[in-house]
Amino acid sequence: MIGNDIFKALADPTRRAIFEKLAAGQMNASALRSGMEISQPAMSQHLAVLRGAGLVREERQGRYVNYEVDPAGLAQIAQWLSKYRAYWPQQIEALKDLLREMDT
């Protein structure tokens, strides 16, 4: 079964924005904050939630903590999605793109 935390973590728009930023490349917490009107503790708390859900992992580097996307989280979502493949209409283009990318 899918972890209860993963959808809860993604339910918050701020957290999705953070995740999206991390998808562009690993980044420390301060870099993530720049351009994102969010306090330092709030960012720290959001990162803790994302980490708890398995969407993100951290690596301490000196006094910085680098965060990066954890594929395990995405895999959990894919696995959940796969349970409902009977309902995927073939004509939806996004799904075809998905397929093509994974095939190569």
Contact partner at residue 28 from its own copies, DNA, none, CB < 5 to 8 Å by partner kind? DNA
Amino acid at residue number 53: A
Contact 56, 73 (CB under 8 A): yes
> Under 8 Å CB-to-CB from 73, ≥6 apart: which residues?
6, 53, 54, 55, 56
Q: 46 or 54: whose CB is closer to DNA?
A: 46
Contact 58, 51 (CB under 8 A): yes
Q: Could you list the residues that contact DNA (CB under 7 A)?
A: 8, 11-12, 14, 28-30, 38-49, 58, 60, 62-65
> Under 8 Å CB-to-CB from 13, ≥6 apart: which residues?
none
Contact partner at residue 89 from its own copies, DNA, none, CB < 5 to 8 Å by partner kind? its own copies
Q: 30 or 99: whose CB is closer to DNA?
A: 30
Residue 62 beta carbon to its own copies: minimum distance, rounded to whole angstroms = 25
Residue 72 beta carbon to DNA: minimum distance, rounded to whole angstroms = 18
